[in-house]
Amino acid sequence: MKQILILGANGRVARIVEQRLLNETTAHLTLVLRNASRLALKPSARVSIIQGDVNDTAMLDRAMTGQDVVYANLVGQMATHAQAIITAMTHHQIEQLIWITGSGLYHETPGPFGEWVEQVVGHAAKEDTRRAAKIIETSSIAYTIIRAAYMTDDAQIDYDLTQKGELFKGTMVSRASIADLIVKIIMTPQNYARTSLGIAKPGTEKMLPQVKQMAQHL
């Protein structure tokens, strides 16, 4: 039985991943989040829940015990999170990390969508995500970084991937699509080790106006 640690377990993508793993695999999930009462899942034979903050390095170290995979679905101080996670994973000799971030990590997203992302997220926040990625990529961990376009709640699974060094394609992607990729990475890690993947719905390259409209209604 694969042991999977999910950090930021109440995130919208994470919740989809959790349900799919419970339905489609025999994996045991350890779910870490700041407020456990917000989570619909309850402790069971296949689910352990830890209430805590990733910044609590002692808690993080305990949560890593016996894990095979770490999936980080986090916000906040990303470089600090990345360093703490890599340190704990190295200590426990855990090989596989799945790290979620946004497009534009390497300035690979063409305009005008790329400029819009940088403006909306904020340059300082994007620079923090870039520092986090550098910490991960210079480690010995078999990481997979997922660089997502603007996320939607569309239930359709439809996505294309781009590799590091390629131009990012598309402007939006469903959370269901990101979750589908994460499940694939967990089940076949050898296909995704030490890669950084852009993910977006095909054919959405010119849909920034629609993205802006959706963002206004958040």
Q: What is the 3-class SS of 20-80, one letter each residue?
A: HHHHHCCCEEEEEECCHHHCCCCCECCEEEEECCCCCHHHHHHHHCCCCEEEECCCCCHHH
User: Would the pLDDT of 11 be above 90?
Assistant: yes
CATH class of the structural domain 3-216: alpha beta
Q: What percent of the chain has pLDDT over 70?
A: 100
pLDDT tens profile 22-60: 999 999 999 999 999 999 999 999 999 999 999 999 999
pLDDT tens profile 144-190: 999 999 999 999 999 999 999 999 999 999 999 999 999 999 999 99
For the whole model, what pTM was predicted? 0.97
How many angstroms separate the CA atoms of 170 and 205, rounded?
4
The residues spanned by each domain of the chain are: 3-216
